[in-house]
Amino acid sequence: MIKIAPSILSADFARLGEEIDSVRAGGADWLHFDVMDGLFVPNISVGIPVLKSLRSYTDMFLDVHLMIDRPGRYVSAFSKAGADLICIHLEADTPEGIHAALREIRSLGRKSGLALKPGTPWDAALPFAEETDMFLVMTVEPGFGGQKFMADMLPKVSRLRDVTEGFGMGTLLEVDGGINPATAALAAAAGAEVLVAGSDVFGAADRAGRILALRGGKQA
Ligand code: DX5
Ligand code: ZN
């Protein structure tokens, strides 16, 4: 069962509540919340106060993608602000720091996620598998919406799918970046279960039609 997670990075922030209502009514499963610190990635987005406002506005599942250096410093603040899942980047700290942050996320009662930049090989994730509820394969360089899908990431998705299926770990697999109906089909065929889409969903007037198309339904 494919989940669609619209990324609010491409939403109109002046009308965020209405934007969320429109994707919720359009059948979105999760909301994807991109946090950028201007260090780990060359861009700055939104953070804790905005997440807190969203949490009091909606009961949708909030999938928080931290593109920040040494994310362990902020795990408890994002948990308190209402994240359901907190996804950190494998490249953002030492292995010890990543292990500790993943454990802390779970100890706070949240789902833990581990994201891999395009240059990071699939097997770098293996030492963290037991502490991770979701792997995120980045299909663009993190930092900006509206980039082109990197099809050469598909084998990474398949390899991680083999691992999670083979070991029966129940770990979810998400892709993020350049997802549209055509690339969604490729990612889903490779084994992705959660599809993040920013510009494709929020750039379309017909949100429901677009979300349906991302699931493999009739093109909007
Ligand atoms: C990029 C972010 C993505 C972004 C995706 O660093 O992690 O979530 O919003 O945007 P699109 O779907 O436009 O590629
Ligand atoms: Zn993201």
User: Alpha-carbon distance 6 to 202, whole Å?
Assistant: 8
* pLDDT greater at residue 166 or residue 63: 63
Confidence of residue 90 (pLDDT cuts 50, 70, 90): very high
| Residue 156 pLDDT exceeds 80 | yes
Provide the b/e sequence for 87-122 (b: ≥16 CB within 10 Å): bbbbbbbeeeebbebbebbeeeebbbbbbbbeebeb
User: For a substitution probing ligand 1, which of 33, 37, 134, 140 has the most ligand atoms within 8 Å of its CB?
Assistant: 140
Task: Please compute the mean of the pLDDT values over residues 45-62 and round it to a whole number.
Answer: 98
| Residue 61 pLDDT exceeds 70 | yes
Task: Please compute the mean of the pLDDT values over residues 73-101 and round it to a whole number.
Answer: 98
| Cβ–ligand 1 contact at 82 (below 6 Å) | no
Give CA separation, 26 vs 54, 64, 74, in Å: 18, 21, 32
> Of 126-130, 165-169, 205-209, where does mean pLDDT reach its minimum?
165-169
What mean pLDDT, rounded, does the chain reach?
A: 97
| Cβ–ligand 1 contact at 146 (below 6 Å) | yes
Catalytic residue among 29, 34, 84, 93, which? 34
| Cβ–ligand 1 contact at 199 (below 6 Å) | yes
Query: Which atom of ligand 1 has the smallest separation from the CA of 139?
Result: 14
| Cβ–ligand 1 contact at 43 (below 6 Å) | no
- Is 69 annotated in the active site? no
| Cβ–ligand 1 contact at 178 (below 6 Å) | yes
Give CA separation, 217 vs 3, 62, 156, 172, 211, in Å: 13, 24, 25, 22, 9
| Cβ–ligand 1 contact at 113 (below 6 Å) | no
Indicate which ligand has the atom closest to the C-alpha of 142: 1
> Of 14-18, 40-44, 89-93, 214-218, where does mean pLDDT reach its minimum?
214-218
- Per the CB < 8 A criterion, the answer to whether 152 and 186 are in contact is no
This model's pTM is above 0.75: yes
Residue 166: the pLDDT is 86
Confidence of residue 211 (pLDDT cuts 50, 70, 90): very high
* pLDDT greater at residue 1 or residue 158: 158
- Is 176 annotated in the active site? yes
Confidence of residue 127 (pLDDT cuts 50, 70, 90): very high
| Residue 220 pLDDT exceeds 50 | no
Catalytic residue among 29, 37, 176, 200, which? 176
Confidence of residue 169 (pLDDT cuts 50, 70, 90): confident
Residue having the nearest C-alpha atom to atom 7 of ligand 1: 142
